[in-house]
Amino acid sequence: RSFLHRDDIGIILINQCVAELIRHAVEAHTRSVPAVLEIPSKEHPYDAARDSVLRRARGMFTADELR
């Protein structure tokens, strides 16, 4: 949480498997800066359905715009 309030941080990269452990905090963060981006890890496959940024982005576009 301390990273979310620092002025010198614009992007927070977090492994998706770790983000699952603190999903409540990731979902509660709604500010655009710092952006919280979930990235894959070597040990766990990436699941786009669980990525909070992709879910928000999908809500911004219609199905026709995504084609």
What is the full per-residue pLDDT of the chain (67 aa) written as tens digits? Answer: 888 888 899 999 999 889 989 989 888 888 889 989 888 888 887 777 777 767 666 666 666 655 6
Q: Phi/psi of residue 30, each to 5°?
A: -115, -5
Confidence at residue 21, expressed as pLDDT on a 0 to 100 scale: 92
Between the alpha carbon of residue 59 and those of residues 15, 26, 42, 52, the distances in Å are 23, 17, 29, 11
| Single pTM value for the model | 0.65
Whether the Cβ atoms of residue 47 and residue 65 lie closer than 8 Å to each other: no
3-state secondary structure 10-37: CEEEEEHHHHHHCHHHHHHCCCCCCEEE
The structural domains of the chain, ordered by start, are 11-58 (3.40.50.10580)
Confidence at residue 34, expressed as pLDDT on a 0 to 100 scale: 93
Whether the Cβ atoms of residue 46 and residue 22 lie closer than 8 Å to each other: no
Confidence at residue 12, expressed as pLDDT on a 0 to 100 scale: 92
